[in-house]
Amino acid sequence: MKCSALLLGCLLLLSVSPALAQQVTAIQAGAVLDVRTGRVDRDVVILVRDGLIEAMGKDVSVPLGSEVVDLSDQFVLPGLFDTHSHLLIQPDYASNNPILYKSVPYRAIEGVAAARDALMAGFTTVRDLDSEGADWADVALRDAINNGLVPGPRMQVATRSLSITGGYMNQNGLAPQIDVPQYGFLADSDDAIVAEIRREVKYGTDWIKLYATGTTRHINLEDMTPLPQFERDEIALVMQEAARFRIPVAAHAYGGPGAYNAVDLGARSIEHGMLLDDRTLDLMVQKGTFWVPTLSVYMGDDAPEDWSARTTAIVSAHRKTFARAVEKGVRIAYGTDVGAIPHGESARDFSYMVAYGMTPLQAIQSATVVSAELMGLDEIAGALQPGMAADIIAVEGNPLEDISLLGSVTFVMKDGVVYRQ
């Protein structure tokens, strides 16, 4: 072996390796936010070893040989969560249909770039809520990140979504004789629902994504009711089959019976929900269902005065529902639908959440501890304390005074590795 030929080098390596494994990073933080209480501590040292926070406090002594990161003029907080991402979708999807014009391998490469953008923007964890026609590319991306092949956030994925023929996630506008792949899996029978959930589990899904209502074009503007997708007993079947594998269900649901049934039958989260009524919001509080509002993606790209009547009505309903949900104490996790908005811009919903009735601390909690709880990661990430993953970001200034600072992250560490400094 090489070792016998290079005995000296080998011995050196052997003596150095344990020290490398013990490599400690000491972050000198000017200010650190305790996201649970809102307390801000000044001049804190955070010791990071083996990807975890080992110790933190004012009086922590820095071991000899530690790598020191000077953030003494920065404000430090836990890495952020976006619990509604689409890393396999790009903002050009409307004009450049990815299913018709892009290969799945190409979309996976786009996903690699999107994952890097999310991480660099301080989003160290995402829940990617379906690949929208890129099949299992989200599983591949998650695994490649976990294996250290490419940089990216910690991911949970939903693979393909469940929808219905004639509803959302269909390829529309083509002649009936043209058979093309769809954005979601169109499950029109009990057998199809069961088989698809089992297939998704087999290929590595973390979540089942259910389209319990249609999309914006399906909203009846006269009474603002969304299209309910699936019968109540079909939604019950989705929950039952997912529960067999202990896999949670995220329901795209704007409101009406589709949303109510999803909450009542056990969805862990409701996505979008701009038309949720009081009965459903109250049931969410009672059952502990999370709401992921995705506020900004429903706004038009142009000035509000140029929005269509549909966009104006939806944004107005979203705002009112958000204020009611905050007042009632619904658990609101942070999610943006990024992919439909440019990758790396996940921070843009913070300002709307604060404008619509949250305090800056509540908005930060939404993107940290509450999101971590939604994803079952609250013992691993979402707060800075010994034993938790060293997912640490910094901004210049106090985001409790100016929430928009979260859009300009200056430092990103994930699992103890520095990606941005």
Residues that bind Zn ion (CB under 5 A): 337
Minimum distance between the CB of residue 271 and Zn ion, rounded to whole angstroms? 6
With CB atoms as reference, the residue minimizing the distance to Zn ion is: 337
Least distance (Å) between residue 400 CB and Zn ion: 29
Q: How far is the CB of 129 from Zn ion (least distance, A)?
A: 5
Instruction: Provide DSSP, 225-264.
Output: BPPB-S-HHHHHHHHHHHHHTT--EEEEEEEHHHHHHHHH
| Closest CB 86 distance from Zn ion, rounded Å | 6
The one-letter amino acid code at 76 reads V
> Edge-to-edge strands of the sheet including 123-128?
80-85, 123-128, 154-157
- Nearest Cα to 118, choosing from 75, 159, 80, 74? 80
Q: Which is nearer to Zn ion, 337 or 391 (by Cβ)? A: 337
**Strand segments (E) across 23-142:** 24-33, 40-49, 52-57, 67-78, 80-85, 123-128
Tell the residue number behind the tokens 């056990």, with chain if given.
266
Instruction: Tell the smallest beta-carbon distance from residue 336 to Zn ion (Å).
Output: 9
Residue closer to Zn ion (CB basis): 82 or 391: 82
Burial class (CB in 10 A: 0-12, 13-18, 19+), 220: exposed
Shortest Cβ distance from residue 297 to Zn ion (Å)? Answer: 8
CB closer to Zn ion, 341 vs 363:
341
Decide whether 337 or 349 has the Cβ nearer to Zn ion.
337
- Structural contact between residues 85 and 141, judged by C-beta atoms closer than 8 angstroms: no
The residue among 75 and 185 lying less far from Zn ion, judged by its C-beta, is 185
The one-letter amino acid code at 401 reads: E
Residue closer to Zn ion, measured from CB, 196 or 337:
337
Could you give the 3-state DSSP secondary structure of residue 202?
helix
